[in-house]
Structure 1
Amino acid sequence: MTIEKGKPWGIEVARPSDLQSADSDQVVGRLLTADVGARVAPTGGDLHRTIGARPLDDRPSLLEFSIDLLRVRLNDEREATAVAHVTVQLPRWSGGWWRGPVLMVMNAQFLGDWHVVSRGHPNDGRAESVEWGSEFGLRQRWEARRRLPTGGHVPHPSIETRSFRERSWTFDRALEICVDGRPSGRARSLQVVVEPDAAVVYG
């Protein structure tokens, strides 16, 4: 069951004997994709930070967190799974984050040094999308990037935020897609479906 508003997240359990550590979101996703029942403890990455960034020491008990997963489909053919986020932008040589549309689909709250969403939760059955339109200017992008580490945001009509369970996008040109920070090629269409309570992690 996804988390209820005002309820604590995570239950204390005995440390699993077959616990696997994962030092990045990519490794968490790979382990859970190979075996959804795998017992995985994030030790780095944006999901790790979202669940509290506790060090994985020799504690006899850990917190067990139910999490949602993001099922990602590119160009109606390629599929991937994200535990933390999916990002979309122009290729770097065409301007990257500084020009054109930017899309951040978040399951975690963080994207590197950026605190992208504050209301989203990895176990609320929804994802949060933040979109910058092509008309979002260079000066506004600089200000937005400056504020993102603290969770501050620039109000602007070219920024759209939305909470969703399933959503699709079609782009005017092929854009670069990253799943949990891993380059996943270019695509002109993207579909993201939230799968609630799809896995558990420990921390």
Structure 2
Amino acid sequence: MTVERGVSWGRPEPLPPHGVVVHSDAEARAVVEAHRRRDEPVPPLGLLGGDLCRTLGGSGDAARLRSSEAMSFPVDLGAALVDGRLHWFVAHLLARRSWWHGRIVAAMNAEWLGDWDLGPRAHPNDGLLDISDADLSLGDRLKARRRVHTGAHLPHPGIRTQRAPAWSDELSPPLDVWLDGQKVGRASRVAVRVEPDALTVVV
């Protein structure tokens, strides 16, 4: 059940014996993809790094994951059709050719992209993705880059934003698509949707 405003979220619970420890969003995505493609349940993931881990306040302490201090959270999973091929992501999808020119699309399940607070309203268990879609002038890109570390780049009249369970669009010209920091190819169409409560993660 997705989180509601004012309702506590997560519970004290260590990573179970069959859980898998991952050090990055890319490692988490690899575990998800491997199990989904075999049509198997995804095991709980112990997060030691990555943007989803940071969003959840993870410490990167491996010993904590198996201790009484560990916190377990249900989180949403992003599903992405990239030119018709299905992928999954735990933290974010990014479509771009360059940071400095052309269109940039971000679909955020986590709040962070590295040191950038790219999805300041994103929550990994609200059943929504935070979508930003922009093609800014160089001057506006420089201004946004200075502010994105704190999430102050939003709102911006040149950045279209929405919070939605699904989104799709044509990418013309085609853009490189990155899932959890890994490039999966260049695409002319992308569709994303949320799978609520699809994962259990521990920090």
| TM-score exceeds 0.5 | yes
Once the two structures are TM-superposed, the CA of residue 14 in structure 1 deviates from its matched residue by 4.0
Once the two structures are TM-superposed, the CA of residue 65 in structure 1 deviates from its matched residue by 0.6
Once the two structures are TM-superposed, the CA of residue 15 in structure 1 deviates from its matched residue by 4.0
Identity of aligned residues (%): 36
The secondary structure found in structure 2 opposite 1:201 is strand
What is the correspondence of 1:116-195 to structure 2 with a 5 Å cutoff? 116-133=118-135, 136-153=136-153, 155-195=155-195
1:110 corresponds to: 112
The secondary structure found in structure 1 opposite 2:124 is coil
- Structure 2: 5+ residue runs without aligned partners? 36-40
The secondary structure found in structure 1 opposite 2:58 is coil
Which piece of structure 1 moves more, 124-133 or 8-17?
Answer: 8-17
Q: Which whole-Å deviations, capped at 9, do the CAs of 1:51-106 have from their partners, x for residues lacking one?
A: 1022334342221110101110011x21110000000111xxxxx01101111110
Paired residues, number: 195
Contact 1:143 1:154 in 2 (8 A): no
- Measure the CA separation in 1 of the matches of 2:168 and 2:20: 33
Contact 1:140 1:154 in 2 (8 A): no
TM-score by length of 2: 0.91
1:66 corresponds to: 74
1:53 corresponds to: 58
Which piece of structure 1 moves more, 112-121 or 14-23?
Answer: 14-23
- Measure the CA separation in 2 of the matches of 1:195 and 1:162: 17
TM-score by length of 1: 0.91
- Measure the CA separation in 2 of the matches of 1:82 and 1:108: 10
CA change 1:14–1:182 in 2 (3 A) is: closer
Please tell me the root mean square deviation across aligned C-alpha atoms, in Å.
1.4
